Amino acid sequence: MDDLPLEKIAISGPTLASMMQRLSSSRGDVDGLLFGHVTRITPSTLSDDTSPSFDGPSDSSHLVATVTSFLCPSSSPLSFYDSLGRLNAPSLSRLLPSPSSSAIAADGGSHFLGWLSFRRRSQTRPSMREYSVSHSLSRSSHLSFPVANSETAPVTLTPCIFLLFATPVHDQAIHTHDYRAYQFRLSTTSFEPKPIDIVNIGPAFRGHYESFSPNSAFPMLNCEMRGSSSPMVEEDRSAEEQKQLDLCAEGFDVGDLKRLMGVEATGYTRGLEDLYEKMLVKIDGLARQVESSNAQVIEQEKRIKDLRYKAAARSGAE
């Protein structure tokens, strides 16, 4: 049994929301058990920097605890311990599922990670009773579980995670819950605050979708193979494409594009650059023609407006 530090505690958004709903619907303070798994993860330090200062990938790894489910056996605390924080072994044994349970098998081999406590109108600081319960759980070697992805010797941990939920001391309309995560370390006999990573989707959450299978059928696509059409259709299509290209490319042949690759590419590139420059000259000429025509339209509108004013003045004089 090793007393290794956790890097962080991960929990999915739906699991956290379900947990808060269960706690807020209770009539008073409540506690429960946490299930999940602990995985050893090696961070990726890949880089495209080839300078000598780059030391290469790091061999360091850290432990991440993922909470996948929880259990609140009653709507009151002291579900598996007494008022002094001493464990009630028979009650705890009844709450923990057996290793062959279908619920554990469906959850991908989850283990008993720790427990949670919910207090109303309280500070998010562990109490002496919660300290005693966490200390007792961390010392229970018969509750130890293995760490996944352990490349060296098998590593085990005891239920050392503690989630504390509380409502604000003063009533607030929007802010309804405070929560913090801790790991109880036997080496220091103290709580260590740990960050909570609320994961919803992405590579870090891929393990939750291992049994995913789509239900909706993939839409049918109208894909026509090029070889299925007749030679006449292909010739008509090529002729139409060449006709559209001739309007702006001065007879440039589409088939000549293959000359951009191979040994002829160096000499043929200059011809394409000349063609591109001619097209820019044409575009500049068209832009100037549009500008000139717009000026003529504006001048014509002014003349029409002056004629209307003169006509209106004559009709008023008569």
Q: What is the CATH number of the domain that holds 187?
A: 3.40.140.10
- Weakest-pLDDT range from 92-101, 127-136, 281-290: 92-101
- Looking at per-residue pLDDT, the higher value among 80 and 233 belongs to 80
Q: Which domain holds residue 255?
A: 235-317
Mean per-residue pLDDT for 199-222? 55
CA dist 81 and 79 (Å) reads 6
Domains identified in the chain, total number: 2
Residue 103's pLDDT is: 43
Which of the two residues, 268 and 294, has the higher pLDDT score?
294
Which pLDDT score, from 0 to 100, does residue 57 have?
A: 44
Cα within 13 Å of Cα(25), Cβ side: 8
Q: Above pLDDT 90, what percent of the chain?
A: 22
pTM passes above 0.85:
no
23 and 162 housed in the same domain:
yes
Asked whether the beta carbons of 254 and 242 are under 8 A apart, the reply is yes
For residue 49, the model assigns a pLDDT of 46
Residues 18 and 156 in one domain: yes
How far apart are alpha carbons 279 and 248 in whole angstroms? 7
144 and 261 share a domain? Answer: no
Q: What is the mean pLDDT of residues 97-117?
A: 66
Task: Categorise residue 121: left if φ over 0, alpha if ψ from -120 to 50, beta otherwise.
Answer: left
Strand partners, 166: 119, 178
Question: Per-residue pLDDT averaged across 31-54, rounded?
Answer: 69
- pLDDT at 23 exceeding the cut of 80: yes
The Cα–Cα gap between 248 and 257 comes to 16
Q: Are 186 and 306 in a shared domain? A: no
Specify whether 252 is located in the same domain as 117: no
Contact at 8 Å (CB) between 65 and 41? no
Residue found under tokens 């379900």: 18
Q: Which of the two residues, 295 and 45, has the higher pLDDT score?
A: 295
pLDDT the model gives residue 152: 66
